[in-house]
Amino acid sequence: MVMLQHTVRKPKGHVFITDPDGGVAEGDTLQCVHCQMHWVVRPGSGTKRGWCYRCNGPTCGKPQCMGRCVPFEKAMELAERRAKLLSDIERI
Amino acid sequence: MADRYAITGQQNAAAPADTCTAVEAVNLTRGELYDLVFGSSDGPADVALRWEVMRFTAAGTRTAVVPAPLDPAAPAAQLGGGENHTAEPTYTAATELLDFGLHQRATYRWIASPGGEFTIPAVAANGIGARVSPNMGNPLVDCTMHYEE
């Protein structure tokens, strides 16, 4: 079905592209479970994505997201902990 | 309930890339971007733009933008915003959150489904910026970011 080419069962986002003539193209996006990147689903695009069996979700295809599993929530916590440690060290 | 805010920005984009709008953590509060709009308010021209939404760890030099609360009863925002950067933020390599090409005459809107937002860590000067690179000229581009904190 042509109208369902850019849809997915569990979209994480949606894009609307309005051209100068007023036409609107729409598409669902998927989100990488490791870096939060969004991409529009284009069947047959040839872009290699992945799937993380630990997070049970799609990955964007960047080497660092394909190589090891670091869920984005964990990455946020690590960044926040690192910043706190640095500020503690500066205070000493 | 989280409070929602809007940040708008403009930039006369030049190659190789200029940051149009950014939102950054300043008071150790997390933010979540959920709605982004990209376009151009310049005279219509045939210019190809590449937009990249990326994470940064230092804010760069920019004109500060005070986030506008969507609910007038909301308190002042904890996070900060910036536009029209003259020195680029320090972007982290390979952290593109959105990466797309757009004709200058077109408008692009991205909306997150619940749970699909871009999270800004609660680390001072860390944030998310929208940078644009035109294939020619210096088109005036616009980017609006809605986030909650």
Q: What's the CA gap between A38 and A59, in Å, rounded?
A: 10
Give me B64's structure tokens: 């500060």
Which residues of A fall within a CB distance of 8 Å from B123?
79-80, 83
Query: What are B54-88's pLDDT values in tens digits?
Result: 999 999 999 999 999 999 999 999 999 999 999 99
The nearest CA of chain B is from the CA of A2 a distance in Å of 22
Which residues of A fall within a CB distance of 8 Å from B111?
13-16
Q: What's the CA gap between B40 and B55, in Å, rounded?
A: 22
pTM of the model: 0.92
Contact B14, B124 (CB under 8 A): no
Test B110 with A83 for CB contact under 8 angstroms: no
pLDDT value of residue A1: 42
Of B45, B51, B64, B23, nearest to B109 by C-alpha is B51
pLDDT of residue B50 exceeding 70 = yes
pLDDT of residue A2 exceeding 60 = no
Q: Give the residue-averaged pLDDT of B26-37.
A: 91
Of A51, A39, A48, nearest to A13 by C-alpha is A39
The nearest CA of chain B is from the CA of A27 a distance in Å of 10
My answer on whether omega of the bond before B16 falls inside 30° of 0, hence cis, is yes
Q: What's the CA gap between B53 and A53, in Å, rounded?
A: 27
Instruction: Name which of B112, B123, B124 is nearest A12 (Cβ-Cβ).
Output: B112
Query: What are B122-143's pLDDT values in tens digits?
Result: 999 999 999 999 999 999 999 9
pLDDT of residue B146 exceeding 70 = yes
Q: Give the residue-averaged pLDDT of A61-86.
A: 92
Q: What's the CA gap between B48 and B86, in Å, rounded?
A: 22
Give me B103's structure tokens: 């004709």
Quick one: closest CA in B to A85, which residue?
A: B123
Q: Give the residue-averaged pLDDT of B41-54.
A: 95
Provide DSSP, A10-42.
S-SEEEEEE-TTS-EEEEEEEE-TTT--EEE--
